[in-house]
Amino acid sequence: MAGHGPLRTLDERLGRAVSGSEFPSSVAEFLADLGNTAVAVPALLVVMVWAGWRGWRHSRQEGRADGKGPARWWLPPLAAGLALAAVPALVVPLKLWLARPGPPQMAGGAHAGFYPSGHGATAAVAYGVAALLVLGSREGGRPIFAGGRRAAGVLVGAVALLNAGVGLGLVRRGYHWPLDVLGSWCLAGVLLAAWCAVCGVPVDGVRAGGVSVGDSGSGPATARRAAVDSGGAVAKGDMTG
């Protein structure tokens, strides 16, 4: 992106084709605005508060059940906020370093760097981690989407479609080149993977649609405890049978 080459030439050719397409500009503007911090940040804050409240309530119930203290219910929402806050901290230096010129419509703007797209990264991280928080929320000691892989798949697909729409809107309105958006998605993928690592969410658990976050009665520790409890019940049944 920093130098001229065949990839950059193809990218700019594709960007001009999309920008000059018949896709409605009003719809494209609406989609592009979904990556604005004025939209994405409040949306994530609502999910953070909701997930934090549910995690706190579940941790109290679990604490009374096993006699232990409250779990780290606050970790997933806090990590989600930090992941979104990391977007400008990473995007701005990359833009200044690469200094890729933007599309013709953005000539003479306030800044010269356009790779990666800040709007694209903001949307991908905000809506992506919001979906992970929803997937990890629990009801009655079970993940909301446990056993509901179809519903979880619909949620993940909706988030992917939303982000594709944001990218299309940014390119159609001439705010970014296609690879600016693709680069922002790659950056968002790193941040979402970091969130999963911090909160103890395995990648296969996300694909299965029954993710569980933090220490709120899920994950390897809880699985081991459940296995021990189950084994103890079986042994007790053998002794009394």
Nearest to 133 by CA among 72, 77, 201: 77
pLDDT reported for residue 233: 43
Of 96, 132, 128, 123, nearest to 181 (Cα)? 123
Q: Record the pTM.
A: 0.79
Q: What is the torsional sign of CA 149, 152, 157, 160?
A: negative
Q: What is the pLDDT along the chain (241 residues), one digit of tens a residue?
A: 556 678 888 999 999 999 999 999 999 999 999 999 999 999 999 999 999 998 888 777 765 555 454 468 889 999 999 999 999 999 999 999 988 888 988 876 666 789 999 999 999 999 999 999 998 875 544 555 555 678 888 999 999 999 999 999 999 999 999 999 999 999 999 999 999 999 887 655 454 444 555 444 444 444 444 444 444 444 444 444 4
Structure tokens at 216: 């709120």
Query: Which phi and psi angles does 201 have, rounded to 5°?
Result: -100, 115
In sequence order, what are the residues at sequence separation of 6 or more whose Cβ sits closer than 8 angstroms to the Cβ of residue 9?
none
